[in-house]
Amino acid sequence: MAWFTDRHFFLLAVSLYGLCAVHSVFLWRKGFRRDDHVIFFLLLAGFALHTTAMFKRGLRLDACPVNNLYEATTFLLWALALACLAVGLLPRLKFLGAFASPVLFAVGVFALMPSLDPPHGPKPDFSNWLTSLHAATILLAYGALGLGAVAAGMFLLQRRNLKEHKVSAVLSVFPSIQRLEMISARLVFAGFVLFTVGLAAGHELPRKADVSFFFDPKVLWSVLMWLVYLELQVAHKFFGRSSRNFAVGVIVAFVFLLLTFWITNLDSPLHHP
Amino acid sequence: MAGAGGAGFAGALRVEPSTFNLQSSTLISVVVIGLNHRTSPVELRERFAFADEKIPGALQALRESGVASEAVILSTCNRVEIYAATASAPEAAFAGLKKFLVTHHAFDGPLNDELYTFAEPQSLQHLFKVASGLDSMVVGETEIFGQLKQAYELALAHQHTGARLNRAFQRAFNVAKHIRTETNIQRGSVSVMSAAVELAEKIFSSLARHEVLVIGAGETSEKTARALQSRGVKKITVTNRSPERAAALAAELGGRAVPFENWPEEFERIDIAISSTAAPQHILDRAKLEPLMKRRRNRPLLLIDLAVPRDIDPAVNALDNVYLYNVDDLQSVADDYLNLRKEEIVRCEKIIAEKVAALLEANKFSDADGRGR
Q: Residue A28's pLDDT band (boundaries 50, 70, 90)?
A: confident
Residue of B nearest to A242 (CA): B298
Average pLDDT of span A29-53 = 85
**Structural contact between residues B66 and B100, judged by C-beta atoms closer than 8 angstroms:** no
Q: Where are the domains of chain B?
A: 8-182, 192-332
- Tell me if A162 and B199 make a contact (CB, 8 A cut-off): yes
pLDDT 10s digits, A109-130 = 888 887 777 776 555 555 567 7
Q: Residue B4's pLDDT band (boundaries 50, 70, 90)?
A: very low
**Structural contact between residues B83 and B127, judged by C-beta atoms closer than 8 angstroms:** yes
Q: Which fold has domain B192-332?
A: Rossmann fold (3.40.50)
**Structural contact between residues A85 and A50, judged by C-beta atoms closer than 8 angstroms:** no
Average pLDDT of span B274-299 = 88
Positive or negative: CA dihedral A41, A45, A47, A51: positive
Instruction: Name every residue whose Cβ is closer than 8 Å to that of residue B71 and which is 6 or more positions away in sequence.
Output: B59, B62, B63, B82, B83, B84, B85, B155, B160, B161, B165
Q: Does B340 touch chain A (CB under 8 A)?
A: yes
Between A213 and B254, residue with greater pLDDT: B254
| pLDDT above 80 (res A267) | no
Determine the pLDDT at residue A128.
67
Determine the pLDDT at residue B337.
80
Considering only CA atoms, which of A131, A114, A133 is closest in space to residue A5? A114
Considering only CA atoms, which of B58, B30, B63 is closest in space to residue B169? B30
**What's the distance, CA B25 to chain centroid?**
41
Average pLDDT of span B133-146 = 86
Average pLDDT of span A46-66 = 84
| pLDDT above 50 (res B13) | no
Percent of chain B with pLDDT over 90: 51
Residue of B nearest to A30 (CA): B340
A170, A243, A244: residue with CB nearest B199: A170
Element containing residue A17 per DSSP (H, E):
helix A6-30
Average pLDDT of span B7-20 = 42
Determine the pLDDT at residue B9.
44
Determine the pLDDT at residue B24.
40
- Tell me if B203 and A240 make a contact (CB, 8 A cut-off): no
**Structural contact between residues B1 and B46, judged by C-beta atoms closer than 8 angstroms:** yes
Between B152 and A79, residue with greater pLDDT: B152
DSSP helix/strand/coil, A165: coil
* Contacts with A174 from chain B: Cβ below 8 Å: 202
Other Cβ atoms less than 10 A from the Cβ of B142: the count is 15
| DSSP code at position B317 | G
Q: Does B320 touch chain A (CB under 8 A)?
A: yes
Active-site pick, B4, B7, B51, B77: B77
Determine the pLDDT at residue A126.
53
B203, B325, B340: residue with CB nearest A176: B203
Residue of A nearest to B271 (CA): A178
Other Cβ atoms less than 10 A from the Cβ of B266: the count is 16
A34, A163, A167: residue with CB nearest B323: A163
Residue of B nearest to A240 (CA): B297
- Tell me if A165 and B201 make a contact (CB, 8 A cut-off): no
Q: Residue B25's pLDDT band (boundaries 50, 70, 90)?
A: very low
Considering only CA atoms, which of B26, B23, B25, B43 is closest in space to residue B35? B43
Of the listed ranges B103-117, B189-203, B248-262, the least confidently predicted one is B189-203
Determine the pLDDT at residue A98.
84
Determine the pLDDT at residue A2.
59
Determine the pLDDT at residue A37.
81
Q: Does B292 touch chain A (CB under 8 A)?
A: no
Q: Does B141 touch chain A (CB under 8 A)?
A: no
- Tell me if A162 and B203 make a contact (CB, 8 A cut-off): yes
Determine the pLDDT at residue B119.
94
Determine the pLDDT at residue B99.
92
Question: What is the per-residue DSSP string for chain A?
Answer: -TTS-HHHHHHHHHHHHHHHHHHHHHHHHHTS-S--HHHHHHHHHHHHHHHHHHHHHHHHHTS-S-SSHHHHHHHHHHHHHHHHHHHHTSTT-TTHHHHHHHHHHHHHHHHT-GGGSPPP-SPP---SHHHHHHHHHHHHHHHHHHHHHHHHHHHHHHHHHHHTT-HHHHHS-PPPHHHHHHHHHHHHHHHHHHHHHHHHHHHTS---TT--STT-HHHHHHHHHHHHHHHHHHHHHHS---HHHHHHHHHHHHHHHHHHHHHHHHT-TTT--
Q: Residue A254's pLDDT band (boundaries 50, 70, 90)?
A: very high
pLDDT, averaged across chain B = 86
Residues of A with CB under 8 A from a CB of B: 33-34, 158, 162-163, 165, 167, 169-171, 174-179, 182, 240-244
Determine the pLDDT at residue A239.
86
ipTM of the complex: 0.75
Q: Does B347 touch chain A (CB under 8 A)?
A: no
* Contacts with A238 from chain B: Cβ below 8 Å: none
A171, A243, A244: residue with CB nearest B340: A171
Determine the pLDDT at residue A272.
60
Which of A30, A92, A161, A165 is the best residue to mutate to test the B interface, defined by the most B CB atoms within 10 Å of its own CB? A165
Q: Residue B235's pLDDT band (boundaries 50, 70, 90)?
A: very high
Considering only CA atoms, which of B258, B254, B272, B257 is closest in space to residue B213? B272
Q: B348 an active-site residue?
A: no
Determine the pLDDT at residue A262.
74
Q: Does B323 touch chain A (CB under 8 A)?
A: yes
Query: Cα separation of A62 and B32, whole Å?
Result: 77
- Tell me if B203 and A177 make a contact (CB, 8 A cut-off): yes
**Structural contact between residues B280 and B311, judged by C-beta atoms closer than 8 angstroms:** no
Of the listed ranges A112-126, A194-208, A236-250, B177-191, the least confidently predicted one is A112-126
Determine the pLDDT at residue B117.
94
Between the ranges A59-68, B156-165, B337-346, where is the mean pLDDT highest? Answer: B156-165
Instruction: Name every residue whose Cβ is closer than 8 Å to that of residue B262 and which is 6 or more positions away in sequence.
Output: B239
Query: Cα separation of B201 and A176, whole Å?
Result: 6
User: Could you report how far apart the first and last alpha carbons of chain B are, in Å?
Assistant: 34
Between B307 and A61, residue with greater pLDDT: B307
Rounded to the nearest angstrom, the minimum Cα separation between A24 and chain B is 21
Count CB pairs under 8 A between chains A and B: 59
| DSSP code at position B23 | -
Which of B194, B202, B298, B332 is the best residue to mutate to test the A interface, defined by the most A CB atoms within 10 Å of its own CB? B202
**Structural contact between residues A63 and A54, judged by C-beta atoms closer than 8 angstroms:** no
Average pLDDT of span B193-213 = 89
Residue of A nearest to B318 (CA): A163
Determine the pLDDT at residue B295.
84
Indicate the pTM of the whole model.
0.69
pLDDT, averaged across chain A = 84
- Tell me if A167 and B332 make a contact (CB, 8 A cut-off): yes
pLDDT 10s digits, B83-110 = 999 998 999 999 999 999 999 999 888 8
Half-sphere exposure at residue B248, Cβ-oriented, CA atoms within 13 angstroms: 10
| pLDDT above 60 (res B301) | yes
Determine the pLDDT at residue B16.
43
- The CATH architecture to which B8-182 belongs is 2-Layer Sandwich (3.30)
Determine the pLDDT at residue B368.
65
| pLDDT above 50 (res B1) | no
Determine the pLDDT at residue B103.
92
Q: Does B184 touch chain A (CB under 8 A)?
A: yes
